[in-house]
Amino acid sequence: MEYRNLRVALLGGGSVGAQVARLLLEQGPELANRVGATLELVGIAVRDVNAERSVDLPRELFTTNAEELILGADIVIELMGGVEPARSHILLAISSGADVVTANKALLALHGSELFAAANQVGAQINYEAAVAGAIPIVRPLRESLAGDQIKRILGIVNGTTNFILDRMDTEGSSLEDALAEATALGYAEADPTADIGGYDAAQKAAILASLAFHTTVPLSSVYREGITSVTSAQIESARKAGYVVKLLAICERVTDENGVDGVSARVYPAMVPRNHPLAAVHGANNAVFVEAESAGSLMFYGAGAGGVETASAVLGDVVSIARRHVAGGPGVAASSYAALPVFDIGRVTTRYAVTLEVTDEPGVLATIASVFSKRMVSLALVEQSMTPAVMATQSRAARSATATLVIGTHDATEAALAATVQDLATNSVVSEVASVLRVEGV
């Protein structure tokens, strides 16, 4: 059977780009049968054509002239990473009539609204399944499969490096430093792991997911972010004893504030998750996205969040989808931001806290602590008291009675009220130290 020909330009020949090129070349006839058109890889734009590649590819495909390659393509795959020149290349592709597939989460989080507006203006398509959770299909289910539903909340483990580290701390008793060193040795963490352990990577993905799920432009600057650098082995152990596991979560939520105003929240932080929650069973460097929808209920998407060939699978899925549209005709699916909901700062979000305090062990302490919470209208769900192990091991019997550990769980309250309560506790005369503060999610 004779098919029409679609010219595909690839920008970037790294670990993902090389695998995409390999699959396009090796699976050409099969892909043509699925699409109804041949997908011709016309070139791969790279910085250095002589650099070593993870895959043996035809030398003649490589070029340093990305602009020329783009102008001759029907579909442009951008796997360069970074903001520039990726942004300029994508805008050039759109203006020249090409559709775009990208895995560039940083670019989409910062300039997604600009790129989608340019594509909408000319009826072009931008697909970006691989930008959020590697091989896991989540963008297309949100954009298409759940388009007739209303998304209430998304809880995502969307960074494999941090999940690997926290999982090792939980299952092996490793320190954060040792778990990070292991992640680096295995290739999960970069030489500079700041983007991962600082929560920046997850925040970019949260901005993309929230924008998509709630039909609202959510700027990266509006995503609250905390990384895992302050998570301690003691917090992990305390969570385990209480029946929880600590995960770095990207949380995208449609919320109504105390004034009855509907809005959107997007935030990233380490949180305690009940061990019977599906996200608690996500181990190693895997990713998972837990979606709560009005009609469909709870859904979880799980799998590899990174890796060259795994991510290439998602990229090729986007390419096939776009190619089918070329064959069928018609404009691309426009980005949807009609809702234009306000993006709330974290202070207006309702959540729960687990607070561990070192307090003086004397009569009236519990009442004093309870009054601090009551002042901020925060209701207590759990109070447990025990002697501090470190103190018991080093002090005399008489001195041991001076200090105790108080573990407090709260009911739902606004983040602003909870944060203010913790500040009040830190300056209270009966509190020696606010030893740990973790949010509780998934309950």
Dihedrals φ, ψ of 319, to 5°?
-65, -45
Three-class secondary structure assignment of 51-97 = CCCCCCCCHHHEECCHHHHHHCCCEEEECCCCCCCHHHHHHHHHHCC
Burial class (CB in 10 A: 0-12, 13-18, 19+), 64: exposed
Listed in sequence order, the residues at least 6 apart from 367 whose beta carbon sits closer than 8 Å to its beta carbon are: none
Instruction: With beta carbons less than 8 A apart as the criterion, state whether 55 and 18 touch.
Output: yes
Would you state the pLDDT for residue 329?
85
CATH code reported for the domain at 349-440: 3.30.70.260
264 in helix, strand or coil? strand
Residue bearing tokens 């001759």: 72
Q: Check residue 392 and give its pLDDT.
A: 45
Please name the helix (run of DSSP H) or strand (run of DSSP E) that holds residue 163, with its range, or none.
helix 160-171
| C-alpha to C-alpha distances, 127 to 132, 203, 206, nearest whole angstrom | 11, 20, 17
CATH 3.30.70.260 domain extents, the chain = 349-440
Known binding residue 12? Answer is yes
18 is in an annotated binding site: yes
**Is residue 11 part of an annotated ligand binding site?**
yes
Nearest to 77 by CA among 125, 142, 147, 29: 125
CA angle 183, 184, 186 (to 5 degrees): 65
Per-residue pLDDT, 386: 66
- For 6-30, the DSSP string reads EEEEEE--SHHHHHHHHHHHHTHHH
Report the SS3 class of residue 184: helix
Query: Taking the CB of residue 442, how many other CB atoms lie within 10 A of it?
Result: 20
Per-residue pLDDT at 17: 94
- Give the amino acid at 67: E
The CATH code of the domain at 5-135+309-328 is 3.40.50.720
Burial bucket for residue 399 (CB in 10 Å: 0-12, 13-18, 19+): exposed
- 190 marked ligand binding residue: yes
Q: Does the annotation flag 181 for ligand binding?
A: no
Q: Is 247 a catalytic residue?
A: no
H-helix or E-strand containing 204? helix 200-213
Distance (Å, rounded) from C-alpha 251 to C-alpha 202? 10
Distances from the Cα of 285 to the Cα of 163, 187, 210, 288, 310, angstroms = 6, 11, 23, 10, 13
- Residue 9, annotated ligand binder? no
Residues 6+ apart with CB under 8 A from 112: 207, 208, 211, 217, 335
- Alpha carbon dihedral 152, 109, 273, 237, in 10-degree steps, equals -170
pTM: 0.92
- Cβ atoms of residues 245 and 239 within 8 Å: yes
Q: Report how far residue 114's alpha carbon sits from residue 435's, in angstroms, rounded to the nearest whole number.
A: 44
Q: What is the pLDDT of residue 228?
A: 97
pLDDT tens, N- to C-terminus, the chain (443 residues)? 678 899 999 999 998 999 999 999 999 999 999 999 999 999 999 999 988 888 999 999 999 999 999 999 999 999 999 999 999 999 999 999 999 999 999 999 999 999 999 999 999 999 999 999 888 999 999 999 999 999 999 999 999 999 999 999 999 999 999 999 999 999 898 889 999 999 999 999 999 999 999 999 999 999 999 999 999 999 999 999 889 999 999 999 999 887 889 999 999 999 999 999 999 999 999 999 999 999 999 999 999 877 788 899 999 999 999 999 999 887 777 788 888 999 999 999 999 999 999 998 888 899 999 999 999 999 999 888 765 444 444 445 554 557 788 899 999 999 999 999 999 999 999 999 999 999 999 88
- Measured distance between the N- and C-terminal CA atoms of the chain, rounded to whole angstroms: 56
Q: Where in the chain is the domain with CATH 3.30.360.10?
A: 139-304
- The widest CA-to-CA distance across the chain, in whole angstroms, is 90
Half-sphere exposure of 37 (CA within 13 A, CB side): 21
C-alpha separations of 327 from 21, 321, 324, 331, 335 in Å = 22, 10, 5, 11, 21
| pLDDT score of 394 | 46
Assign domain 139-304 to its CATH superfamily.
Answer: Dihydrodipicolinate Reductase; domain 2 (3.30.360.10)
Phi then psi dihedrals of residue 89, to 5 deg = -65, -40
Tell me the chain's radius of gyration from C-alpha atoms: 25
CA distance 14 to 315: 14
Per the CB < 8 A criterion, the answer to whether 12 and 81 are in contact is: yes
Those residues with Cβ within 8 angstroms of residue 419's Cβ, 6 or more apart along the chain or in another chain:
347
Active-site residue, selected from the candidate residues 152, 205, 241, 375? 205
CA angle 302, 308, 309 (to 5 degrees): 75
Q: What is the pLDDT of residue 1?
A: 63
Asked whether residue 17 is marked as a ligand-binding residue, the answer is: yes
